[in-house]
Structure 1
Amino acid sequence: MFDTMTFTKILGGFCGAFLIFLLAKWASDSLYHTAAAGHGAEAHDAYVIEVAEAADAGAEEEGPDFATLLASADIGRGERVFRKCSACHSIAEGENGVGPSLYNIVDRDIASAEGFGFSGTLDGLEGNWTPEQLNAFVESPRNFAPGTAMSFNGLNKIEERANLIGYLQTLSN
């Protein structure tokens, strides 16, 4: 089996590791020790960390609202954003593609493009494509009209949507 020297080396290795473990524990306790309540020891100096109140926690600073951004929309940038839409939509009057023509879309009745067959979801919606309605639709078509045939994921940036809708407003009679 083992001779005495090998056994002594193994036992010495375990004892040495245990001693290092105990010394490390003692060192960390002395560095990070805080007095426990009820043991008669004075508390060490501590730093107070202030946190936001629950009411302030959810109040993130928001950017300008959609109406403000639409009022100062950059038409040139909106035209560049429209390139994402141009694969399916036309801006020529009465010229439908995979999607309906977007000519004169702002304030037009929803699902009213001449000669285009809309999905039942959009066909069932009442009202007009106001800038606010278009903003909500372009942000997420599937959330605005669940079951829509439009496969576009939407535009996340409110500035892009405002610029696009500002551009679409210029395409009217």
Structure 2
Amino acid sequence: MPDSFTAPVSRRRFVAVTAVATGMALAGGCALPPADDEPDPLLALAVAAARDARELAAADASHGDDAPRLRRIADARRIHAERLYAEIGASEIDAAEVEPGDTAEPIDTADVPGAGSPAVCPPIGEVRERLREDARRAGEVAVDSRGYRSELAASVSAACTTAVEVVLA
């Protein structure tokens, strides 16, 4: 007898479950902001997204039929990193100094750890594990945040879950 049971999930059911999970994460948007002495919780999400964007873009023929899918996920993770870094930069600007229509300069992603070494795409099993962990962590950040930051983290969580359960299925 198997130790665990995994049931196939239809795309419709997956979308419904993801929508409910995102709604629950957004409902937690009324939580208190982190203390000033704690690091910004979006920073860990941004670093992970930048790492994934860099490494998954390096998918080559050794990844077989998964290479194009990994590169599409890399594009999504690059956008996650850009938006997260932009929000981190925006949160550091004093609101009194911002004029209507101004935008915050995103943090340079070249400062991401490991950005100087050649990118190597990990095996597909490790990619799935990373994305699941990133989805879990982003969901926690969404629950603990509020407003746009909560929405941003929830969308990262949903995108990582979709990448694992639909794109890499």
- Give the TM-score category using the shorter length: under 0.3
Question: Which is bigger in relative contact order (C-alpha 8 A, separation at least 6)?
Answer: 2
Specify the structure having the higher radius of gyration (Cα).
1
| Normalised TM-score (structure 2) | 0.25
| Normalised TM-score (structure 1) | 0.25
Greater helix fraction, Structure 1 or Structure 2: 2
